[in-house]
Amino acid sequence: MPPRVEQFQALVAQQPGNELFRFSLAQALATASRGAEAVQHYEFCLGKKADWMMPRILLGKLQLELGNRPEGKALLQDALRLAVEQHHEDPERELRALLADLG
């Protein structure tokens, strides 16, 4: 197990309600090709902050990688809505391109 995953697992064990630790753990798991394990942590983040765009983008991409196209597309559409509302132009462009590719 890569040290980063272990580090963030320890932090989450100490503070399971900390969405920043969960987000970091999800990213570490996804980077370590353990995306299926990352899903629950990204979902936790979504539940904590309704306007947090990045977990939606990363979870949407991850769901696509895992073969869950409808879930991934819905998350990316929601992230696009947030990107527009929050005036995040680069993520908006990226999301529009991703969604155009999905059809």
Domain hosting 16: range is 1-49
pLDDT tens per residue, range 13-37: 999 999 999 999 999 999 999 999 9
Q: What are phi and psi of 47, to 5 degrees?
A: -70, -25
Per-residue pLDDT at 2: 57
Per-residue pLDDT at 21: 97
Co-location of 14 and 31 in the same domain: yes
Total domain count, the chain: 2
- Predicted model pTM: 0.93
pLDDT tens per residue, range 46-92: 999 999 999 999 999 999 999 999 999 999 999 999 999 999 999 99
Q: Whole-angstrom Cα distance, residue 47 to residue 22?
A: 12
Q: For residue 1, what pLDDT band results from cuts at 50, 70 and 90? A: low
Co-location of 54 and 101 in the same domain: yes
Co-location of 72 and 101 in the same domain: yes
Co-location of 101 and 56 in the same domain: yes
Co-location of 93 and 71 in the same domain: yes
pLDDT over 90 at 103, yes or no = no
pLDDT over 70 at 3, yes or no = no
Co-location of 92 and 79 in the same domain: yes
